[in-house]
Structure 1
Amino acid sequence: MDLDNVVAIDVHTHAEISQDGHGSLSPELFDASAKYFKAHDHRQPTIPDMAAYYRERRMAAVVFTVDAEHATGHRRIANEEVAASCAEHADVLIPFASVDPWKGRAGAREARRLVEEHGVRGFKFHPSLQGFAPDDRMAYPLYDVVQELGVPALFHTGQTGIGAGVPGGGGIRLKYSNPMLVDDVAADFPELRIILAHPSFPWQDEALAVATHKPFVYIDLSGWSPKYFPPQLVRYANTLLQDKVLFGSDYPVITPDRWLADFAGLELKPEVRSKILKDNAAGLLGLKREAP
C-alpha cells in the first residue's frame, strides 16, 4: 500500500456477500438493518467492488464480516475468503477476521492461523449479535491470542441497526455492547489494542471514559453521520483523544462520501482532522510508508 497516495483510511467496512452469493446476515436481519439506516438503495458489494470503490477515492479500507454462528445459526462468510480477496487488492484493502467467541479454544487456534497463514490484520467482535458479554471469561483464550499476535480487536458498541424493528429485536440484546464491559478486557489484557466502534449511544460518556483511562483503547466514528455526533465526542476528539479517534463509515450502509461531507462541517483543528482521517489508523495498523 502506498500510504502517501492514500487520503484516508476507513477502519470499518463490511463484507456482506460471499463469492457464492451467501449473505453475512439472514434476509430478515439484513432488511431490518437497511431500514434502520434508511439505505433504500442499499446494495451488497462484493469485495472486488469495494476495492474499486475505495481505489477511485484514493482511500484504504479495513474489511470484515461477523461470525455469529452460535447465536444466529447463520453460516458466516469464510474469513479465508475475505483475507484472500483483500490480498488481491492489497493496495486499498486491509483484512480483519471475525471468530465467534463461543468457539472457545478452537476459535483461538483459528485466530492464530488466520494471522500467521492468511495475513489477517485484526479481529471484529459484535457482542450483541454474537450473544456474549465482552468480559465473559469464555472469550479470554481468544483475546489472549489476539494480544499475543499484536493485532487490534474491534468491538461494536452501543445500539445496533441489526434486528431493529424486528419483534424482540431478533433476540439481539443491546446490553452486551456497553463499552464498560470492554473496560474489563482492557484491564485484563493491557497490551491489547482495542477499538470501540461507533458513537456508543446510549453510553457515549462511558466510551470516552474508557478510551481516556486505558492507553490502548481507541474509538472509531462509524455508523453515524458526523452531523449527529454527541457534542462531548467532538470535544474529546478535538482535544484529549485526538490521537485515538479513527475514521470509519460502516460502508455500505453509510458511504464514505456522505460521512466525509458531513465531517467537513465539524469544528476541528486542521491537524486533528488529518489524524482522524488517516494518521491514527496508520499507526494503529502498523502501516509503513514506502521507501523512496
Structure 2
Amino acid sequence: MQYFDCHSHFSTEAGLHHASQEDYEQAQRVFKRKRTFETEEEMAAGFRKRHVRTILDIYRTWRLTDEDEIRRSHDYVIDFTRKNPDIVYGNWVAINPSMKDFWLKEFRRLLDAKVGFWGFCQSQNSLGFTPSDPVWDPFYKLSIEIGAPVLLMTGLTGIGQGMPGGKGIVLEDGHPRHVDRVAARYPELKIVAGRPAWPWQDDMIAIMLHKANVHYELHGWSPKYFTPALKKEIGWRLQDRIMFGWDWPTLTLERLVEDWRSLGYTEEVYEKVFHRNAEAFFPGAAPK
C-alpha cells in the first residue's frame, strides 16, 4: 500500500528548533511515546521504506517574530524538500497573520523556490485568531489566486493538554463552525479541516455534507478512538473526502495502519483514504 500523508512534522532537531523543550516533552506525555531526534537521512529513509509521501507542517513558525529566523527555518525546509522530492510533496506554512506584509512576501519567496507544494496552515488555537477571523482573508485570497488548499485546524489539541489553563488555549477557537464560515465566504477556496473535530464531530460531518469545498484529514488520533458516527461516514457518504494523516513523529505508521485495518472497511475505501483521495485533491499529486 502507498500512503499520502497530509500532515507530519520533522523529526530532526534542526527541523524542530523553533519548538520549545517544554512543548516537546508535553507531546511525549500526551501521546505516551518516547521520541528521539533523527538525522535528515534517517528521517527521509523512514518515510521512503514505508512508501509514504508527505506534506510536512513547518512546526511553530507562527510563534516566531524574528523575520531572519523564520527565513532560516524555511531555507532548511527548502533544502530538505529539494533533496527528497520523492517523499516530500510539500509543506504547510504556519503563519502569524498579524505579520501580514512579511508573511505574504515570504510566501511568495517560498513559491519562487519551486520545490513542491506550499500551503497556508492556520496552526492550532494558540494565536487567538479563529479561522473565520477576517485577519486571515488576505491569505485565503492568495491561496485562491494560486490554487493552493489551506489547512484549518479543528477540535482538541495536544498543546497545553492537562496543564493549568491549557497554556491559554481556548478550545472553542477550534470549533468547526469557523471552517463552515470560511467555506461559505470563499466557495472557491479548497479547505482541508485538520485533525478529528472532537468533541464537535457531528458538526464537522454536517459541514462536510453541506460544503463541497471542504475535505478532512485525520492526523493526531488513532482511528479506534473516532466517534461511531465518523467511523460510519468514512465507509459511507464521506469515503471520497477523508484523507490520511500520519502525524510523525507523534505516532508510528505501523500502529496507525493496524488500527485503521481493525475497522474493517473494504479495500477500496482503504485505498481512497490512504492515498487516492489526497492524490485527487492536491494539485499535481497524482502519479504520472
**TM-score normalised by length of structure 1:** 0.88
CA distance in structure 1 between the partners assigned to 2:98 and 2:42 by the alignment: 32
Asked if 1 retains the 8 angstrom alpha-carbon contact of 2:120 and 2:139, the reply is no
Q: Does the CA contact (< 8 Å) of 1:44 and 1:252 recur in 2? A: no
Q: CA RMSD in A?
A: 2.1
Question: Secondary structure of the residue that 2:109 maps to in structure 1?
Answer: helix
> Is 1:50 matched with 2:64?
no
CA distance in 1, matches of 2:39, 2:164: 30
- Report the alpha carbon displacement of residue 159 of structure 1 after superposing the two structures with TM: 0.7
Q: What amino acid is the match of 1:208? A: I
Q: Which amino acid in structure 2 is aligned with residue 289 of structure 1?
A: P
- The amino acid of 2:18's aligned partner reads S
Give the distance between the partners of 1:108 and 1:25, measured in 2 at CA: 23
The runs of at least 4 aligned residues of structure 1 exceeding 4 Å deviation read: none
Query: Retained in 2: the 8 A contact 1:70–1:130?
Result: no
Q: Letter of the aligned partner of 2:225 in structure 1?
A: Y
State the alpha-carbon separation in 2 of the partners of residues 148 and 79 from structure 1: 22
2:33 counterpart of 1:33: no
TM-fit CA distance, 1:226? 1.2
What is the aligned-residue identity percentage? Answer: 32
* TM-aligned CA deviation for residue 89 of structure 1: 0.4
> Equivalents in 2 of 1:24, 1:16: separation in Å?
13
Cα contact 1:64–1:82 (8 A) shared by 2: no
Q: Which residue of 2 aligns with 1:9?
A: 4
Q: 1:14 to 1:205 in 2, by over 3 A?
A: same
One-letter amino acid matched to 1:84: D
AA in 2 matched with 1:150: G
Equivalence for 1:89: 84
Displacement after TM superposition at 1:229 (Å) = 1.2
Residue 3 of structure 1 is matched in structure 2 by none
In the alignment, what sits opposite 2:243? Answer: 246
1:274 aligns with 2:274: no
Is 2:264 aligned against 1:289?
no
- Does the C-alpha gap of structure 1 residues 189 and 262 become closer, same or farther in structure 2, counting only changes over 3 Å? same
Equivalences for 1:71-82 in 2 at 5 Å? 78-82=73-77
Q: Is the 8 A contact 2:11 2:248 kept in 1?
A: no
Shift of 1:70: 6.2
Query: Structure 1, residues 174-225: CA drift from partner, whole Å, max 9, x if none?
Result: 1211111111111122121111111111111111111211112111121111
Does 1:129 pair with 2:126?
A: yes
In the alignment, the residues of structure 2 paired with residue 278 and residue 64 of structure 1 have an alpha-carbon distance, to the nearest angstrom, of: 18
1:99 equivalent in structure 2:
95
The AA in structure 2 aligned to 1:233 is L
Contact 1:60 1:91 in 2 (8 A): yes
- Give structure 2 stretches of 5+ with no counterpart: none
Distance 1:91 1:243, change over 3 A: same
- Is there any run of 5+ residues in structure 1 with no aligned partner, and where? 1-5
Distance 2:118 2:2 in 1: 20
SS at match of 2:132: coil
CA distance in structure 2 between the partners assigned to 1:232 and 1:46 by the alignment:
40
Q: TM-score, normalised by structure 2?
A: 0.90
**In the alignment, is the contact (CA less than 8 A) between 1:98 and 1:123 conserved in 2?**
yes
Query: Structure 1, residues 121-153: CA drift from partner, whole Å, max 9, x if none?
Result: 323222413331111111111111112111111
Task: State the distance in 1 between where 2:164 and 2:16 align.
Answer: 24
190 and 233 in structure 1: CA distance in 2 versus 1, 3 angstrom threshold: same
Instruction: Please give the alpha-carbon distance, in whole angstroms, between the structure 1 residues aligned to 2:254 and 2:45.
Output: 14
**1:172-211 alignment to 2 at 5 Å?**
172-211=169-208
- AA partner of residue 240 (structure 2): D
Distance 1:116 1:174, change over 3 A: same
Q: Using the TM superposition, give the Cα deviation of residue 260 of structure 1 relative to its aligned residue in structure 2, in angstroms.
A: 0.4
How far, CA to CA, are the matches of 1:196 and 1:281 in structure 2? 13
Residue 17 of structure 1: CA displacement?
4.6
